[in-house]
Structure 1
Amino acid sequence: MRLTMEQVIQYQTHGYLVAEGVLTDEDLQPVITEMAKEIDLRASVLYAEGKITELHETESFERRYALLYAQCPEIGRAFDIMDILGEAMFEFLRNDNLLDAVECLLGSELSCNPIQHIRAKLPWKAREGQAEPNTFENVPWHQDCAVTTPDSEASEIITFWMPLVDATAETGCMEIMPEVFKLGYLEHQAEGGTTIVPAQLPHVQPVLAECRKGGVVIMNKYTPHRGTTNNSDIVRWSLDLRYHKTGAASGRSHLPSFVARSAAHPESVLDSHQEWRLLWQDALASKEQRSLHRV
């Protein structure tokens, strides 16, 4: 779905945009089905190993993972896009409705950035001796540029965050600081998770970026944001994707970007799931050590 001029102006003014109705259930369901099958496969293995005792096979996608995770957190190990490398996920990275929105901000020469994640925010249930969720559950204030390498400073890398269930104040949507992107990069530290140095944190009233399934939260790479607590009884699933102009530095040059759309050179678009898998497998097999973050 293409963005309106008003939406583009809002993004350019505030450094973020909540765009509802960008994606349809038909766009999202293949990805959800693929993830559900991966969960089922992992659950079957853990059950056979005696690490879980209840498969919860009749539970919904929104609830089952949390029930399995409570029995054995191992089910969530290496559960990310580059770990699963599923065909439905690859096709979604090239989804026309999504790329139509991306094109409104970046133009017609688009590359899918290698910084991309599946996020499973589990329901928060107070644990004895722990009054608040830890930073694994609630990502602290940060800018997405902080997890890129400095060579991409001039690159316009835009975050497209989309929930697979409704992201609300109850299920744990993001909080965003509007207009702070105009300050550019703020110094970050690694303590307590990659986060803005407290003395650098602007005194700006944050906004809740509630977003329904099918919507997309779009953010400038300098826009500070953080996670909030999931106080519901479901998993707040989401995808965290990024796109940049083809030819620009990706911020992770040792990991595979690929051309997702091109008006000038349509033959350059990657349309092979198998080739995408091989690119990632080769990159992850490399023993070259590289820093992923600025801090």
Structure 2
Amino acid sequence: MRLTIDQVIQYQTEGYLIVEDVISDDILQPVIDELSAEIARKAEQLHTEGKITNLHESEPFERRYGLLHAQCAEIGRGLDINEYLGKAMFDFLRNDSLLDLVECLLGSELSCNPIQHVRAKLPLNPAAGRTETNYYENVPWHQDCAVTTEDSDASEIITFWLPLIDATAVTGCMEIMPEVFKLGYMKHQAQGGTTIVPEQLPHVEPVCGECRKGGIVIMNKYTPHRGITNRSDRIRWSIDLRYHKSGANSGRSIQPSFVVRSKAAPENVLTDHEEWKNLWLESRAKPVTQKLHRV
């Protein structure tokens, strides 16, 4: 699938684009299966330690994690992309359906940025003492460039956000400020998460960025956005990835970027899962000598 000229113009004008029906279930299911297996492994371990009493083995992917998390929040440790380092996830980062869209905006020399996450947005449950003033509140307004280093200001780093269940106003989709990316970087602060300082937040009517499973929300690194509360009874799983032109500064030079597509030098494309895994393990073994964000 390729972006149309009108879609490219919309992205360049508004700083975001929602494209439906990009990633098939056949591509997404191995990632879901791998996450499910990792959750099951961690649940068994916590059960052995007496921290979880009910494994909820019959519950589906979009419910089980929440029921386990309610018993022991440790279930969430080590579940991010660069922590569990699964092969299905590595393959997903390089899948052609996704990269064909990335190429429409960045050209044919593409690298996967090291800032990449898988997230489980838990439902709000006031009956269990959870309110919108704590863990389950909206993710605050921010720009993705706030978690990159300043040496990447000239780099075009684009965010590709993909839900693993339908992201709606009920399950907790994103709200997006159109066209505000033209203002460039806004100062951020660490308060309830990395967030734009209130006096710099523009008064712009946000767009509700609903996106079905299989779709992608594409955003400029300067586009302000936030995640809203999940008011459903399911986990809103999502993956957010970033790509940049190979050779450009990634904004995280102490972490590994890798080439995912190249017409000029296809031999540079990384296809070996173990090599990718080792790059991350080596990176984590080194002392952190660089500030990873601007706050």
TM over 0.5, yes or no?
A: yes
| Partner in structure 1 of residue 255 of structure 2 | 255
SS of the residue 1:226 aligns to:
strand
SS of the residue 1:242 aligns to:
strand
Distance 2:115 2:73 in 1: 24
Residue type of the alignment partner of 2:33 = T
Moved over 2 A (4+): 127-131, 133-138
Distance 1:162 1:102 in 2: 13
Which runs of 5 or more structure 2 residues have no equivalent in the other structure? none
| Partner in structure 1 of residue 196 of structure 2 | 196
CA drift at 1:290: 2.2
Identity %: 70
Is 1:175 aligned to 2:175, yes or no?
yes
Distance 1:278 1:137 in 2: 36
Q: Contact 1:133–1:229 (CA<8 Å) still a contact in 2?
A: no
Deviations 1:60-94 (A, max 9, x none): 00000000000000000121001110000000000
CA drift at 1:271: 0.5
CA drift at 1:2: 1.3
Is 1:30 aligned to 2:30, yes or no?
yes
Deviations 1:139-175 (A, max 9, x none): 1000000000000000000000000000000000000
Q: Contact 1:161–1:241 (CA<8 Å) still a contact in 2?
A: yes
- Matches for 1:216-295 after TM superposition, within 5 Å: 216-295=216-295
CA RMSD of aligned residues (A): 1.2
SS of the residue 2:74 aligns to:
helix
Residue type of the alignment partner of 1:268 = N
Distance 1:178 1:207 in 2: 7
- Matches for 1:1-295 after TM superposition, within 5 Å: 1-126=1-126, 131-134=131-134, 137-295=137-295
Deviations 1:87-107 (A, max 9, x none): 000000000000000000000
Distance 1:290 1:262 in 2: 29
Distance 2:133 2:253 in 1: 33
Which runs of 5 or more structure 1 residues have no equivalent in the other structure? none
Q: Contact 1:135–1:193 (CA<8 Å) still a contact in 2?
A: no
Residue type of the alignment partner of 2:210 = E
TM-score, normalisation: structure 2 = 0.98
Distance 2:24 2:90 in 1: 17
Question: Aligned pair count?
Answer: 295
* Distance change in 2, residues 1:171/1:133 (3 Å): farther
Q: Contact 2:136–2:229 (CA<8 Å) still a contact in 1?
A: no
Residue type of the alignment partner of 1:109 = E
Distance 1:62 1:196 in 2: 31
Distance 2:194 2:68 in 1: 28
